[in-house]
């Protein structure tokens, strides 16, 4: 059988495209890409003319089946996403799962991932962390998810887009408290890379006051709850449960 190579691409700076990534993409029979219109120009810059196959959330199951047939027959393929590491808030999970289930070798060509780049410069505890990806776009769903994380002691990481960054920080400040320490990592490895840190409330106002700080791509990192906060929350839950017993 062939190998499915899961290949990371840059998250902004083309210098982060590894020589092994380029070599691998040249050698495979085809490259599965999330959006072929975005991947083609990148490949062209590196002289890669391997055929592309579109693989996105909507067609992944169907395409995965056909790709696994090709892999089992002996072809090697690569999987890339628009930027960074495939499967990390990007398509590919179902293909990787199907390939492994068919006994096909799946091998990584690691490289950029925005969450790891952000964690490496945030100055927050990095021994234990929880990556939460994108929260639901609607306010209610977003607040519910944040609420469920309020007592989490690990460093929390989120992906967020420019049009929701202020709402996200506002909700986070109200759920975790305006004083909880956080870091906003924007446009990492790009021209306008900015890493801001401070209490959630102050960070939100700072970004609110500067439209330039609202542009681009964001990783938000929130320091985990301290012992006293976690204890308060547990006590609150205990009291609530006791009260609930007596409610009709
Ligand atoms: N697979 C990618 C990875 O490995 O990081 C993530 C893909 S996800 C669809 C895109 C999100 O990742 C953006 O909305 C943003 O939250 C984050 N992101 C990607 N590139 C970034 C960058 N250069 N700086 C900050 N965040 C970035």
Q: Which of 92, 119, 217, 220 to mutate to test the pocket of ligand 1 (most atoms within 8 A of CB)?
A: 217
H-type alpha helices, the chain = 19-27, 36-45, 60-72, 93-101, 114-122, 139-148, 165-176, 200-209, 227-246
- With a pLDDT cut of 70, the percent of the chain lying above it is 98
Return phi, psi of residue 168, to 5°. -60, -50
pLDDT tens across 146-160, in order? 999 999 999 999 999
CA separation for the pair 26, 42 (Å, rounded): 13
What pLDDT was estimated at residue 231? 66
Return the H-helix or E-strand segment holding 108. strand 105-109
45 pLDDT more than 70: yes
3 state SS of 245: helix
What pLDDT was estimated at residue 229? 72
What pLDDT was estimated at residue 245? 84
Q: Is the CB of 114 under 6 A from ligand 1?
A: yes
pLDDT tens across 64-86, in order? 999 999 999 999 999 999 999 99
Q: Is the CB of 158 under 6 A from ligand 1?
A: no
230 pLDDT more than 70: no
User: Which residues fall within 8 angstroms of residue 131, CB to CB, at 6 or more apart?
Assistant: 115, 157
* Burial degree of 177 (CB within 10 A; 0-12, 13-18, 19+): middle
Confidence of residue 129 (pLDDT cuts 50, 70, 90): very high
Q: Which of 6, 13, 110, 159 to mutate to test the pocket of ligand 1 (most atoms within 8 A of CB)?
A: 159
How is the beta sheet containing 194-199 ordered, strand by strand?
Answer: 129-134, 155-161, 217-222, 181-186, 194-199
pTM comes to 0.92
Q: Tell me what ipTM this predicted complex has.
A: 0.99
Return the H-helix or E-strand segment holding 78. strand 77-80
By the 8 A CB rule, do 164 and 221 touch?
A: no
3 state SS of 157: strand
Q: Whose CA is nearest to atom 8 of ligand 1?
A: 89
What pLDDT was estimated at residue 53? 96
């Amino acid at each position: 059988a062939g190998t499915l190579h899961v290949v990371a691409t840059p998250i902004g700076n083309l210098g982060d495209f590894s020589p092994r990534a380029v070599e691998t993409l040249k050698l495979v029979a085809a490259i599965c890409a999330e959006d072929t219109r975005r991947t083609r120009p990148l490949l062209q810059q590196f002289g890669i003319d391997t055929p592309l196959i579109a693989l996105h959330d909507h067609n992944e199951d169907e395409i995965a089946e056909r790709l696994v047939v090709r892999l089992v027959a002996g072809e090697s393929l690569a999987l890339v996403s628009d930027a960074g590491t495939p499967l990390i808030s990007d398509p590919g999970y179902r293909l990787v799962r199907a390939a492994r289930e068919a006994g096909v070798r799946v091998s990584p060509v690691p490289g950029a991932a925005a969450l790891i780049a952000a964690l490496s410069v945030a100055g927050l505890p990095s021994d234990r962390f929880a990556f939460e990806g994108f929260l639901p776009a609607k306010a209610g769903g977003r607040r519910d998810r944040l609420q469920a994380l309020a007592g989490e002691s690990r460093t929390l990481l989120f992906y967020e887009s420019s049009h929701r960054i202020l709402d996200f920080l506002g909700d986070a400040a109200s759920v975790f408290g305006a004083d909880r320490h956080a870091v906003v990592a924007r446009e990492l490895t790009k021209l306008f890379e900015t890493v801001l840190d401070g209490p959630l409330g102050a960070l939100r106002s700072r970004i609110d006051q500067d439209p330039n700080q609202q542009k681009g791509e964001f990783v938000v990192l929130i320091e985990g709850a301290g012992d006293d906060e976690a204890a308060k929350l547990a006590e609150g839950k205990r009291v609530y449960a006791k009260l609930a017993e007596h409610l009709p």
